[in-house]
Structure 1
């Protein structure tokens, strides 16, 4: 176990299912196969999660990661900011949003200090974080600003070994075409390459078309002819990366899900999300693509309707833990040459 990466395990939004998920995996002793976990959040919320799922595990409070001894149980870095009695379960609130941000800030600082190698987090609630003062579009932008990134980043959706990267993300469909250009597409392709390499391999990248029938050579839209195809050719020539396309989006995922590609670069949010979530919603995770440390979470969100019922499935969160650990090991091996 001493060779496994040290990962932060953040409880997530207190009003959601995050504390239950973290507790369920602790009861299964799931973390031990992949990492040395450090639970980050309020001790009382972790114990509340254990109570909800009907079990207990050895755990103890630490003030610094030098105090971790996994033979004693689960170390909990107690942030002392989320009283279960003050949480309104199943609702977004400023109180719980502040807890989300405190967990994020703590994990960011621990990464920068070299005390953890990455982290996995229970679902946060963007609305609650904004109530608590977050001005960024999402936690991914918040992370990028905290790490002072100057390179492409975005949430990357992953199911099993297939990931999707978006050229445009949280924007209205009416604005998608105007945002697709050489720069935005190159950034998406680069993000796919970086994230694929973070898992320890050179990815096979497919680029989706925007228009029906791949634009029909310009008869049904010119984005493929004027932007997408020329950008792919330029990227391949300049980098040698394994990038092909554009492919008609209505058939691309048939090939991708058979294993022909590792990464699909989509033109807009739902173009990839629908495909992955239809085939394997419980198997989907979200990777913080482009960040300097391995970071991932489950794809299903806070699931307010399931809070307190111990009925949430753990498959997605398990995969997030597993993938984060794999990325951490690949990063360590690359650093060691």
Structure 2
């Protein structure tokens, strides 16, 4: 049944996406029903290299015998797949693969999607993608969601963390640290965590400034916006929200172990400790969407793609996590 299927996209075929997808299929095929969107003829040489049998399908309903071969939902790409060599001619198909996967999820033809890494700067040269910063806001748009609702949760076995701001220059981050925005994000976290993980989440909120502002001596955002937002949840029985914590002490003392989710203020505050803890096991889960979408926690790996030695663990973990989320929805 295709509704129990996870649809996979390669991302940019010049990167490690096709390789880690094929390797992950071999590891996950016994427990997950997987279909990949790709150009059947162009991915065959990679599939042979990794000893993955393929079956070409034109509609996802044709997928079958998931353990015996990887079903390839055919999508024509303009250029051959050349590892470590970006080709802008493939941008239309890369974008189309995201569109197809999202549509299949929205129409409940499949249960979840796992997306391979893309080169955002190349895709932004395409008129269909020029107004988007990456997968998260593009899929948000495809789902018809309100702008800003899609939330990137980065996860590994040791830490689940959400950056309040994602691809913002550091000099613009303080402008986004507003009480209403923080409250809205915490409400979304409560809703999504209860939906997929546990009933009463314990949430830690980090400060923006060194020493969490030191009572206004090193910045005002903690006093003016972060703490007031946290205090609004003190009487909420659906969650526990504490902070703002100085980031260095929070991670240095391993206090993150006492919380289900950590809300960081900006990209690197979240992702540096996360990837230091377990780089190859880190994945991205997009919360706030009407569909399930996960992805590996790494980029295209363009410099190593030609060596065919990429670690597939993150992509594999993203598949397994999507499968667990599907099970939660069914239950």
- With normalisation by structure 1, the TM-score equals 0.89
For residue 112 of structure 1, the aligned residue among 79, 94, 106 is 106
Aligned positions of 1:219-298 closer than 5 A: 219-237=217-235, 240-254=238-252, 259-298=257-296
SS of aligned partner of 2:198 = coil
Residues 231-240 or 94-103, more deviating? 231-240
Please state if 1:59 is matched with 2:64.
no
1:143 matched to which residue of 2? 139
Aligned positions of 1:116-265 closer than 5 A: 116-133=110-127, 134-135=129-130, 136-150=132-146, 152-160=149-157, 162-202=159-199, 203-237=201-235, 240-254=238-252, 259-265=257-263
8 A contact 1:11–1:41 mirrored in 2: yes
The 1:255–1:44 alpha-carbon spacing in structure 2 relative to 1, beyond 3 Å, is farther
8 A contact 1:38–1:75 mirrored in 2: yes
2:77 matched to which residue of 1? 81
1:327 matched to which residue of 2? 325
1:7 shift after superposition: 0.6
SS of aligned partner of 1:131 = coil
SS of aligned partner of 2:18 = helix
State the alpha-carbon separation in 2 of the partners of residues 124 and 301 from structure 1.
7
1:123 shift after superposition: 1.3
1:23 matched to which residue of 2? 22
State the alpha-carbon separation in 1 of the partners of residues 328 and 34 from structure 2.
18
Q: Structure 1: which 5+ residue stretches go unaligned?
A: none
1:235 shift after superposition: 3.1
1:247 shift after superposition: 1.0
State the alpha-carbon separation in 2 of the partners of residues 20 and 145 from structure 1.
28
The 1:48–1:123 alpha-carbon spacing in structure 2 relative to 1, beyond 3 Å, is farther
State the alpha-carbon separation in 1 of the partners of residues 42 and 168 from structure 2.
35
Size of the aligned set, in residue pairs, is: 326
State the alpha-carbon separation in 1 of the partners of residues 253 and 328 from structure 2.
27
1:11 matched to which residue of 2? 10
Aligned positions of 1:297-308 closer than 5 A: 297-308=295-306
2:39 matched to which residue of 1? 42
8 A contact 1:45–1:82 mirrored in 2: no
For residue 88 of structure 2, the aligned residue among 94, 100, 109 is 94
2:97 matched to which residue of 1? 103
8 A contact 1:96–1:128 mirrored in 2: no
SS of aligned partner of 2:186 = helix
Aligned positions of 1:302-317 closer than 5 A: 302-317=300-315
For residue 70 of structure 1, the aligned residue among 55, 65, 69 is 65
> How big is each residue's C-alpha offset from its partner over 1:136-164, in whole Å with a ceiling of 9 and x where there is no partner?
12121111111111372132211225221
1:303 shift after superposition: 0.3
Root-mean-square deviation (CA, aligned residues, Å) is: 2.2
The 1:63–1:257 alpha-carbon spacing in structure 2 relative to 1, beyond 3 Å, is farther
8 A contact 1:60–1:76 mirrored in 2: yes
Q: Structure 2: which 5+ residue stretches go unaligned?
A: none
1:130 shift after superposition: 1.3
SS of aligned partner of 1:32 = coil
State the alpha-carbon separation in 2 of the partners of residues 29 and 89 from structure 1.
22
